[in-house]
Amino acid sequence: MAIIDPMQRWTLRSELLRLVFVSTRLRSVGAPLSYIAVGPPGSGKTEMIMRGGTLRWVTTFSNLSYMGIVNALPVLQSGVKSVILIPDLATVLGRRADVGRQAVATLAMLAAEGIGKIAVGRTEKDYRGVRASVISAVTEQDLTNQWDVLSQNAFLSRAFLPTFDFTMDEIFHMSRLKTLGKLRHLRPFRYPAGIRARTIRFPERYEHYVEDRWSDLRIKNADRTFAFRTMETFKTVLCCAAFVRGGGTVIKKDVKVMDRLWPVIEDQYRRIGG
């Protein structure tokens, strides 16, 4: 069934983002989830992602460079912070081409295999595979203009790119609800008290569910290649749903979360091809 109501579309994007924020708190995931909100100016992208800016494991950068990332690595390595939030990805892309490419390549490593030994000035430091989620927002125009930069090191294929395609009338409606204090979907993210890193069991009976979803994408997008990490991403979504629910094992309730989010997830892979 097509999702028409703007609040439904907003809620799904919000629910996926909420899971992304906790993906770095799980010991059992293959790689953390990342999230790049895409849409025109004024569509609510930044307001959406900033809802998690006050979480204790999130570090926010208003203007990010390669050295800014390097300077954040010690606190990321310590585990105190595990999410990098960039309100506007254009602050990275708007730099000199080589500087922007270097920053994006480093973000791609953070969001995948992790950062090990890198040059810092005249010395080399080993960060032992430190990883982090990358959460940001970008306009359609910047995404198009900088596609080759953002695509390097498979950065885009390591992140969800939910489309913020709200009309001005819909934005006005949601803004009015916010003014009236009725839009709970714009409040800061909250999680169960005492949330701490742990391992989530992934039962074998859900392996087929993930594989079937992966096959669905391959059938609908036959001309695209979906990497093995796509299945790992689906597993991570399910584990994150269990984590937010407060459980230690993925159950049917978490699969229903995945089913509910599927239109947003599928749109992501339709855009970049996995």
pLDDT digits 0-9 by tens, 154-182:
888 889 999 888 877 887 777 777 666 66
CA distance 103 to 85: 14
For residue 182, the model assigns a pLDDT of: 61
Question: 179 vs 165, 172, 184, CA distance in Å?
Answer: 21, 10, 11
Mean of per-residue pLDDT scores for the chain? 86
pLDDT at 196 over 60: yes
* Whether pLDDT at 3 is above 50: no
Task: Note the pLDDT of residue 181.
Answer: 63
159 and 24 inside one domain: yes
- Specify if 256 maps to a domain: yes
Q: How far apart are CA 111 and CA 151, in angstroms?
A: 13
> In whole angstroms, what is the distance from residue 16 CA to residue 261 CA?
7
Range of the domain at 129: 6-173
185 part of a folded domain:
no
pLDDT value of residue 1? 41
168 and 268, same domain (yes or no): no
Q: How far apart are CA 255 and CA 269, in angstroms?
A: 19
Calpha distance 74→68 (Å, rounded) = 11
Tell me: pLDDT of 191 over 80: yes
Are 107 and 54 within one domain? Answer: yes
- Judge whether residue 261 has pLDDT over 90: yes
Do residues 96 and 204 share a domain? no
Residue 182 lies inside a defined structural domain of this protein: no
Each residue's pLDDT tens digit, 37-73: 999 888 889 988 999 999 999 999 988 888 888 889 9
CATH number of the domain bearing residue 118: 3.40.50.300
Q: Percent helix, strand, coil in the chain (nearest 5)?
A: 55, 15, 30
Same domain, 128 and 78: yes
Name every residue whose Cβ is closer than 8 Å to that of residue 95 and which is 6 or more positions away in sequence.
Answer: 65, 103
In-domain check, residue 144: yes
pLDDT in tens, 79-108: 889 999 999 998 887 666 677 888 888 899
Q: Which two tokens stand for residue 5?
A: 């109501």
Half-sphere exposure of 48 (CA within 13 A, CB side): 33
Place of tokens 């969001």: 111
In a domain, 178, yes or no: no
- Give residue 47's Cα distance to chain centre: 15
9 pLDDT higher than 90? no
273 backbone φψ class: left, alpha, beta (φ>0; ψ -120 to 50): left
Domain membership flag for residue 1: no
Give me the mean pLDDT over the 126-130 stretch. 89
Q: Are residues 110 and 207 in the same domain?
A: no
**105 and 168 co-located in one domain:** yes
**149 and 208 both lie in a single domain:** no
pLDDT value at position 153?
80
Please report the beta strands in 109-224, taking only residues with DSSP state E, as ranges in sequence order: 115-120, 123-130, 133-138, 159-160
Cβ atoms of 259 and 3 closer than 8 Å: no
Residue 245: the pLDDT is 92
